[in-house]
Amino acid sequence: MEKRVFNVILVILTIGMLYEIYSYFKIKPNTKVLEDIKTVDVFDNKEKALSIMIQSGGEDDFEYYLEKGTSWPDYTKYTYVGTKCTDESGTNLEDTRQYVNFDEANNEVTITTKKTIYCTLYFGKGRPALEVLDNQGGQYYGGGTKGNRQAVEGLYRFKGTYKEVTNNFVCIGGPLNPDKCGIESSNKYLYRIIGVTDGTEENDLGLEAGMLKVIKVIPSNTSLEWASDYLQDIDWDNGSNTARTTLNGTFYNSLEAGIKRIIPAVKWWKGDNTVENTVSETKRKTTGQYQIGLMYKSDYHNSWTYAEYPGNTNSWLHITNTMSGKTYTYKDISEWTMTRHSCDGICIAWNVISDGALSAGMSYLINTNVVRPVFYLPSTTGLVGNGTESSPYVITSLSNS
């Protein structure tokens, strides 16, 4: 019995001694956190940075784990966007992936190296847009609940009435304080999210999954021709298409440089679409690539369930419902879509008339209607805020390149 106890004690002491030897070679006492959370300016965005110095522990690779704790950025507000490392001389190490792995789910970083290196982990302000919309917009996001989204025409959509869809407002290019985006700028910077791309149209239009499709809340032009000559064969690519040239000229040039830089030039669906009560877009794409377009006929058709005749102004996307308290501002005017109806002698395009109906009969190209610019934002776009009209989302880029 005494021999058995002695053996057990010996095993315990041996394990303890081996652990001490392992710890000595694997974790040096001079390994330390150089800097706790520090706010730094990185590419126009406020990001969180954590600096860590790592030193080798002998011939074997050195592994250092910095586990979850109070020093980490709030994961509900910040997203890990990457790491930069230098050696002792200050030279940047190009491929940090061979040294650094960050497990965001467990808030744990592992750095493996035989060298002394200095690493900074960057956490961008904002969460990925798709994640935010899942959490805050799921009830009406795509007409289903969270986890049961439905993509229509390549988009997970906000779908519902103006009383239901109240949390898809986003501030683009305005004050960083979302509470002041609409109030201090006469809603100049206020947009609404039509939906998020699902990646099915990537090969056709040059899109990728996770891009935001947004529409301006107030018109950029309240009286604009779709085209200045309705007797020639005009579509979004050719002819005297006034809407295309104005949106991709005057309007695009009026945007802040930082916003212009991130709006991608893509191809768009342009019709023809002669079928009433259809929720699909005719797959005839533009030849050229453009940053700015208009909503499709299908965008409006899929925003809520309604009949084209008579119309229904309850859709959140109808212009009279773009903002609270603004119901009657645009009650007697129509709004262009970028979907051409047909061109047989006289070219006509679809527009949304004042009673909420989609109409081609009243949209001869010499007519002047409201236009609200539509564009895409990159899949790396992050969102912070509540998404309401009074406290809209503010966009932040999650890329530190």
> Both 77 and 99 in a single domain?
yes
Q: Is residue 241 part of a domain?
A: yes
pLDDT score at 33: 46
> Both 362 and 301 in a single domain?
yes
Beta-bridge partner residues of 118: 53, 86
DSSP 248: I
Domain stops at, among 125, 154, 182: 125
Domain stops at, among 125, 159, 189: 125
Q: Quote the CA–CA distance of 130 and 109 in Å, as a whole number.
A: 25
**Residue 214 is encoded by which pair of tokens?**
């947004």
Q: Quote the CA–CA distance of 49 and 90 in Å, as a whole number.
A: 17
Query: What is the Cα 214 distance to its own chain's centre?
Result: 9
pLDDT score at 75: 67
Q: Quote the CA–CA distance of 399 and 253 in Å, as a whole number.
A: 24
pLDDT score at 24: 38
Q: Give the residue from 325, 204, 176, 202 showing the smallest Cα distance to 270.
A: 204
State the total domains in the chain: 2
> To which H or E segment does residue 214 belong?
strand 212-216
Q: Give the residue from 189, 187, 210 showing the smallest Cα distance to 198.
A: 210
Q: Give the residue from 59, 60, 41, 39 showing the smallest Cα distance to 49.
A: 39
Q: Is residue 46 part of a domain?
A: yes
pLDDT score at 268: 94
Contact criterion met (CB below 8 Å) for 141 and 157: yes
> Both 341 and 390 in a single domain?
yes
Q: Is residue 189 part of a domain?
A: yes
> Both 98 and 150 in a single domain?
no
> Both 99 and 134 in a single domain?
no
Domain that holds residue 212: 128-397
Q: Is residue 307 part of a domain?
A: yes
In CATH, what number is assigned to the domain containing residue 37?
Answer: 2.60.40
Low-confidence spans in the chain with pLDDT less than 50? 5, 8, 11, 13, 15, 17-35, 42-46, 57-62, 68-70, 307, 399-401
Q: Quote the CA–CA distance of 377 and 297 in Å, as a whole number.
A: 20
Q: Is residue 381 part of a domain?
A: yes
> Both 59 and 154 in a single domain?
no
> Both 198 and 342 in a single domain?
yes
